[in-house]
């Protein structure tokens, strides 16, 4: 079964390498050659997109995450059965899905009737991500979700929590996406506004993915296009 791995942090980011480890090295990387975090569902239609074949298992695309899914599914590997995106360095919960390039890659797969799972790792402050642990959790998630019956037009969004190093592995919780806005705090200097919102202090609906993930559990939401 052909499994495509992509992201928005770039093909050389540690998160996508952790995702490759989560699938025991069996995926094919078709990911941006650069950093596209926060690009949403942007696609390239007025400029060439360079495709660099590094190996039979790695393709660096000079385009957005959605571009990567388009090229992978329509040209490079049309027999793809599953697309995985991540592991993103930072959460993609609630309304983040409209901003996230990580999630956009999976939404694009859903447009093409291909199952997909986006996986993000919430970061607490400046604490470094333990990618080995994230890979272990992601492996559990993929195993749990990949063989479920597929509904066209739907896709999975998963957020891995931060827990203390000596804490047990978190449980998986199926939940709904939060509808609260992101923090909209700005520092104003003259005519210039500087965003200074604190991600971890965002509002959250009871039982939503934001509340579940920030409480130390793996938040899984089922979204539709």
Instruction: Write the pLDDT tens digit of every residue in 20-74.
Output: 999 999 999 999 999 999 999 999 999 999 999 999 999 999 999 999 999 999 9
Helix (H) or strand (E) holding 90: none
**For residue 59, with 0-12 CB atoms within 10 Å meaning exposed, 13-18 middle and 19 or more buried, which class applies?**
buried
Which parts of the chain sit beneath pLDDT 70?
none
Distance CA 219, CA 94 (A): 11
Q: Helix or strand or coil: residue 113?
A: coil
- For residue 87, is the peptide bond before it cis, meaning its omega torsion is within 30 degrees of 0? yes
> Measured in Å, how far apart are the chain's first and last C-alpha atoms?
24
Distance CA 51, CA 31 (A): 10
Distance CA 225, CA 218 (A): 22
Distance CA 7, CA 68 (A): 9
Q: What is the pLDDT of residue 126?
A: 87
Give percent helix, percent strand, percent coil of the chain, each to the nearest 5: 25, 25, 45
Distance CA 170, CA 223 (A): 22
Helix (H) or strand (E) holding 72: none
Query: CA Rg, the chain, in Å?
Result: 17
Distance CA 12, CA 60 (A): 9
Q: Helix or strand or coil: residue 181?
A: coil
Q: What is the pLDDT of residue 34?
A: 94
Q: What is the pLDDT of residue 24?
A: 95
């Amino acid at each position: 079964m052909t499994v495509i791995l992509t992201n928005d942090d770039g093909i050389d980011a540690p998160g996508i390498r952790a995702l490759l480890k989560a699938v025991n090295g069996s995926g094919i990387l078709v990911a941006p050659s650069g950093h596209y975090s926060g690009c949403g569902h942007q696609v390239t239609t007025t400029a060439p997109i360079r495709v660099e074949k590094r190996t039979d298992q790695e393709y660096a695309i000079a385009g957005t995450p959605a571009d990567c899914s388009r090229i992978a599914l329509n040209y490079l590997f049309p027999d793809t059965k599953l697309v995985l995106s991540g592991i993103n360095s930072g959460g993609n919960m609630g309304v983040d899905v409209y901003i996230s390039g990580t999630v956009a890659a999976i939404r694009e797969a859903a447009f093409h009737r291909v199952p997909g799972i986006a996986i993000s790792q919430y970061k607490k402050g400046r604490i470094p991500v333990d990618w080995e642990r994230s890979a272990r959790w992601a492996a559990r998630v993929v195993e749990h979700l990949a063989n479920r019956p597929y509904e066209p037009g739907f896709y999975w969004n998963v957020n891995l929590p931060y827990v203390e190093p000596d804490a047990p592995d978190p449980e998986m919780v199926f939940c709904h996406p939060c509808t609260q806005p992101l923090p909209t705090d700005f520092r104003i200097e003259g005519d210039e506004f500087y965003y200074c919102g604190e991600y971890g202090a965002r509002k959250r609906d009871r039982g939503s993915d934001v509340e579940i993930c920030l409480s130390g559990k793996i938040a899984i939401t089922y979204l539709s296009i």
